[in-house]
């Protein structure tokens, strides 16, 4: 099981996955924030766990808008969470990853995801990169 430090603000909680960047290596220890969206994408390319946390964060954003699991269609980039094309896959992945955690935090490892779903890691990366603009904008607030 993985654990993030909790925070009281919705914005901080939604993007607690970014706190993980301080653990990625020496380059990020001194500057755990992403200066550019491209920096975030570069980390998504290298770190499966960061992508998994991004999927969980998108899911938290989506469920904060609507608590109904059937409300999966969103307009383009203005609505929080997954876009309408990725909503079902993103929700399915996130629900496995959070494993019932009431705060929507990552509770599964990359190994567990691979055992559960052979395409899970690559889909998490695709979702994180595909929603990087949204993730970066909220992170910067």
Give the pLDDT confidence of 73-103 residue by residue, as tens digits: 444 445 789 999 999 999 999 999 999 999 9
Exposed/middle/buried for 47, CB within 10 Å: 0-12, 13-18, 19+? buried
Q: Which of 16-20, 60-64, 72-76, 120-124 has the lowest mean pLDDT?
A: 72-76
**Lowest pLDDT segment from 24-33, 93-102, 104-113:** 24-33
Burial class (CB in 10 A: 0-12, 13-18, 19+), 101: middle
Q: What is the distance between the alpha carbons of residues 126 and 131, in angstroms, rounded to a whole number?
A: 8
Q: How many CB atoms lie within 10 A of CB 83?
A: 18
Q: What is the pLDDT of residue 67?
A: 55
How remote is the C-alpha of 113 from its chain's centroid? 14
């Amino acid at each position: 099981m993985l654990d993030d430090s909790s925070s009281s603000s919705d914005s901080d909680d939604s993007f607690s996955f970014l706190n993980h960047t301080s653990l990625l290596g020496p380059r990020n220890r001194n500057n755990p924030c992403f200066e550019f969206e491209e920096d975030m994408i570069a980390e998504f390319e290298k770190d499966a766990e960061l992508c998994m946390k991004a999927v969980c964060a998108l899911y938290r954003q989506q469920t904060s808008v609507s608590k109904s699991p059937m409300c999966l269609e969103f307009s383009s980039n203005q609505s929080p969470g997954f876009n309408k094309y990725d909503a079902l896959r993103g929700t399915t992945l996130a629900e496995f990853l959070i494993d019932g955690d009431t705060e929507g935090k990552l509770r599964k490892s990359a190994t567990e995801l691979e055992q559960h779903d052979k395409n899970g890691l690559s889909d998490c990366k695709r979702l994180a990169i595909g929603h990087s603009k949204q993730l970066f904008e909220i992170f910067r607030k």
